[in-house]
Amino acid sequence: GENVEQHPSTLSVQEGDSAVIKCTYSDSASNYFPWYKQELGKGPQLIIDIRSNVGEKKDQRIAVTLNKTAKHFSLHITETQPEDSAVYFCAANNFGNEKLTFGTGTRLTIIP
Amino acid sequence: NAGVTQTPKFQVLKTGQSMTLQCAQDMNHNSMYWYRQDPGMGLRLIYYSASEGTTDKGEVPNGYNVSRLNKREFSLRLESAAPSQTSVYFCASKAGGNIQYFGAGTRLSVL
């Protein structure tokens, strides 16, 4: 089955700086890679996703990059703000498969 | 627009007690899921239901049972709670695509 590794487990950045979270996956058949954000006391919520037919996707201050050859994908947050403080999860699956495999999460803290 | 609703929000059990975690979604989604979240281990799938009337095991099903009562409701039952089941439990649902929508979670402590 799929195995997703996520690094780092914790990350602190100064407000306004950029943050990068990295994930690797094991199953070459995986072709869908979402990122979820979990705020304190809430459930995870999708913030961006990418399919394997593209290498990069942007949505305002967040972007995701995918390297299929190396089997890794990354979340980039630019111009970080206090409201970006949260736990972020990457995930992977074969699009249409019922099950998502999640990474272990990254706790991001933005320092004012 | 409620989305995915989980009850209760908090629960404390003694070892050996039983309880049922309830989940309901109002988005007419076919698929529903139960996850547990533990520190350093991310979200691990316990059981899922791809459609009304079907259920399948996930990564960590031991000690749990589920019921897909109808299209809206998917419950998780602990028959004899153990301290190892202390966790935060999340229910999620999805339509035909891949986006899963999560509830706010149930924080369970087993003493």
Q: What is the per-residue pLDDT across A38-79, written as a single tens digit (0 to 9) for each?
A: 999 999 999 999 998 889 999 999 999 999 999 999 999 999
Q: Is A34 on the interface with B (CB under 8 A)?
A: yes
Q: Is B45 on the interface with A (CB under 8 A)?
A: yes
Percent of chain B with pLDDT over 70: 99
Q: Mean pLDDT throughout B12-26? A: 97
For A58, A75, A78, B98, B108, the CA distances from A51, given in Å and listed in that order, are 13, 14, 21, 11, 35
Q: Is the pLDDT of residue B1 over 70?
A: no
Residues of B in contact with A42 (CB under 8 A): 104-105
Backbone phi, then psi, for A82, in 5-degree steps? -55, -35
Q: Mean pLDDT throughout B64-82? A: 96
Q: Is the pLDDT of residue A84 over 90?
A: yes
Q: Mean pLDDT throughout B34-53? A: 94
DSSP at B84: G
Residue B43 and residue B37 in contact, taking contact as beta carbons nearer than 8 Å: yes
Residue B71 and residue B28 in contact, taking contact as beta carbons nearer than 8 Å: yes
Which of A97, A102, A106, A107 is the best substitution to test chain B (most B C-beta atoms within 10 A)? Answer: A102
Q: Mean pLDDT throughout B53-74? A: 95
- Contact state of B42 with A46 under an 8 Å Cβ cutoff: no
Q: Is the pLDDT of residue B96 over 90?
A: no
The Cα A110–Cα A34 span in angstroms is: 22
Minimum CA–CA partner of B4 in chain A = A43
What is the pLDDT at residue A104? 96
Token pair, residue B35, equals: 């996850």
Whole-number mean pLDDT of chain B? 95
Q: Is the pLDDT of residue B38 over 80?
A: yes
A vs B, Cβ pairs < 8 A, gives 50
The Cα A89–Cα A47 span in angstroms is: 10
What is the pLDDT at residue A82? 96
What is the pLDDT at residue B41? 86
- Residue B10's CB: how many other CB atoms inside 10 A? 9
Q: Is A105 on the interface with B (CB under 8 A)?
A: yes
Q: Is the pLDDT of residue B2 over 80?
A: no
List pLDDT tens digits, range A92-108. Answer: 998 778 889 999 999 99
What is the pLDDT at residue B32? 97
Q: Is the pLDDT of residue B3 over 80?
A: yes
Residue B99 and residue B1 in contact, taking contact as beta carbons nearer than 8 Å: no
In the stretch 3-32 of chain B, residues with CB closer than 8 A to chain A read 4, 31
Q: Tell me the torsion sign for CA atoms A32, A22, A60, A87.
A: positive
